[in-house]
Structure 1
Amino acid sequence: MPFLTNETKDQNIDLYFQDYGEGQPVILIHGWPLSHKAWEQQVWAIVQAGYRCISYDRRGFGDSSAPYRSYDYSALASDLNAIIDQLELKDVVLVGFSMGGGEIVRYCTDYGTSNLDKVALVSSIIPLVAKKDDNPDGVPQEDLQDIMDALETDRVGFLQNFHKNFYNYSEDNKTVSDAQLHYDWSIASWASPIATIQAAKAWAETDFRPELKNVDIPTLIVHGDADNIVPKETSGDQASEGIKHSTYKVIANGPHGLNITHAKEFNEILLDFLKS
């Protein structure tokens, strides 16, 4: 299996990645708590459109290393930088789903945008998840604490129900197959328990609003107006206002996992942006 190693002063992180196609490189950054496998409906479309598509597993997830510590966004962005650096990539397009949007913004902050062409934030947590006095539409602290408590006491049980909400799935509205739900659960349940909790703290607590100015290249923002995980009012709406060179696309009835439920519509939006 292909791996790259991010050699830091504290520890070495082996990162599993897949690299298909030729042309301009597009790096796909998955959301919490899944792996590169979450991009199944996008990889083939990107490659067929004439691009080089690279997807990888965040540290602690999939087949990448699972250290005991270091799941803050600067650590995660350093993994992304290791991929770009070691594969000697230029003119890169970054596509981050949900938590993955944080890696993009922190990468721009810590490493600049000289190697990047454009970026896309999909169902992203950017700029802030938590409810605050100046972010009234955010998730209340007690709800975030409930997630942390559930992850500590019954992680696999929590994840089973989480993915139903991921797709706005119900017995009366089966937006995805039962097999898709089980597939996602199997991916998430095999992730490192420590990584699952620590990464959740990163996306729940990090305020990216001061960093939005660092995203100074063309940016696509895609969000569903029925996202029950990351409501667009506290994410997509604010990101589109805070990022100067942004194009904002709202998918009607799109849940958080719109790259699966609305794959055709989303792929068309993404490919149009890549070609623009």
Structure 2
Amino acid sequence: MSYITAGRDANGHEVKLHYVDQGQGDPIVLIHGWPASHEMWEYQLAELPKHGHRVVAYTRRGFGNSTKTWEGYDYDTFADDLKAVLDELDLQNVTLVGFSMGGGEVARYMSRHGGARVARVAFVSAVTPFLLQTDDNPDGAPKANFDKMVEGIHKDRFDFLATFGKQFFGVGTISHPVSNATLDWMQAMCQIASPRATEQCVYAFAATDFRQDLKTIKIPALVIHGSSDATVPPAVSGERMTQFVPHAQFVEYSGAPHGLFITEKDRLNHDLLQFVGGTKVTNSNAFSL
């Protein structure tokens, strides 16, 4: 396994981030969602390097095989960890792709570190701009929704993950867009995360306001969101992104759930390659690799 050192924790122990680095060319850095690991990008890691790109995917602290710290589950720390990845690998002209809570890393990195080394950014099913309902964000989700998630994690984390996984991929009584084997794979991946990280990140992605971070983005930006995302509803996330990044291109995947990196994997791969190549992404379902 390959690891990047991202500083030290409060006890002075090194924090190691597990990563993979494949292919050659201008780099694409994939940032995973909660509570998975970089392994969720299986179909992107298998395809994107075939098209002349270096693809790096790393696992956030507390998840997968990265160091499981007790503290440090805030977006300033996550942005600093992302900087450690870009600096240690000396990546230039980078395309950052943040999925779900990973979109927050992208936004905070761009403001906190001035977008160093980055040429373009993509937000996929992202939690940006701000999920929590507040007086100045009335369309957000009530805090009680996130408290309920944490209660479920405390009560039975494994049962919570099983239920969450079905919502994540849009599995219902009639709809079953992924196999049971894929659900099992995703749950096993998420179970490896530390309970502490799983819980603390709920509060991080729920309560962090990225609206000012997004306003610092001046480079090309792409926003992709599924219209049937029940985990991070597009009305409070993707559809609002152009209010804060006016030049961003918003592409809606009709009928897609949150986990579109699996359910719409071919289209997502195609659209990311188009974006990295400087081609405008269309809302059409017609595409080919």
With the shorter chain as reference, the TM-score category is over 0.9
Aligned match of 1:155 in 154, 157, 160? Answer: 157
- Secondary structure, aligned partner of 1:254: coil
Q: In structure 1, what residue type is equivalent to 2:126?
A: S
Deviation of 1:137 after TM superposition, in Å, equals: 2.8
Over 6 Å off, 4+ runs: none
Q: Distance in 2 between matches of 1:267 and 1:240?
A: 22
Displacement, 1:107? 0.5
170 and 111 in structure 1: CA distance in 2 versus 1, 3 angstrom threshold:
same
Cα distance in 2 for partners of 1:264, 1:88 equals: 29
SS in 1 for 2:215: helix
Q: Take 1:97 and 1:119, find their aligned partners in 2: how far apart are those partners?
A: 11
TM-score norm. by structure 2 comes to 0.93
What is the distance in 2 between the residues matched to 1:267 and 1:43?
10
Secondary structure of residue in 1 paired with 2:161: helix
Match of 1:242 in 2: 244
Q: Percent identity?
A: 39
| Distance change >3 Å, CA 9–CA 185, structure 1 → 2 | closer
Q: Encode CA deviations 1:56-101: one digit per residue, 9 max, x unaligned.
A: 1110001100101110001111111001001111111100000000
SS state at 1:128 partner? coil
Deviations 1:186-240 (CA, angstroms, capped at 9, x unpaired): 1111110001011111001101112211122111100001000011111011112
Match of residue 91 from structure 2: 89
Greater alpha carbon shift after TM alignment, 240-249 vs 224-233: 240-249
Hey, what does 1:191 align to over in structure 2? 193
What does residue 210 of structure 2 align with? 208
What SS does structure 2 have at the residue aligned with 1:214?
A: coil
SS class of match (2:149): helix
Is 1:265 the equivalent of 2:267? yes
Gaps of 5+ in 2: 279-289
Q: C-alpha offsets along residues 145-191 of structure 1, whole Å, 9 cap, x if unaligned?
A: 11111112211111110010001102421110000001111111111
TM-score, normalised on structure 1?
Answer: 0.97
Specify every segment of 5 or more residues in structure 1 that has no aligned partner in the other structure, as ranges: none
Alpha-carbon deviation of 1:17?
Answer: 0.4
Structure 2 residue corresponding to 1:165, chosen from 142, 164, 167? 167
2:32 and 2:99 in contact (8 A); partners too? yes
Counterpart of 1:103 in structure 2 is: 105
- What root-mean-square deviation, in Å, do the aligned CA atoms of Structure 1 and Structure 2 show? 1.2
**Aligned residue number for residue 228 of structure 1:** 230
Amino acid across the alignment from 2:150: M
Of 60, 63, 72, the residue aligned with 2:62 is: 60
Counterpart Cα distance in 2 of 1:143 and 1:202: 14
In 1: Cα distance, 2:116 partner to 2:247 partner? 16
- The one-letter amino acid paired with 2:25 is G
CA distance in structure 1 between the partners assigned to 2:33 and 2:205 by the alignment: 10
AA in 2 matched with 1:22: Q
In structure 2, what is the Cα distance between the partners aligned to 1:87 and 1:190?
26
Q: In the alignment, what sits opposite 2:253?
A: 251
Pairs aligned (count): 276
**Residue identity opposite 2:43 in structure 1:** Q
Query: Aligned partners of 1:21, 1:90: CA distance in 2, in Å?
Result: 15
Confirm or deny: 8 A CA contact 2:44 2:269 kept in the other structure: yes
Once residues 237 and 171 of structure 1 are traced to their aligned partners in structure 2, the CA distance between those partners, rounded to angstroms, is 28
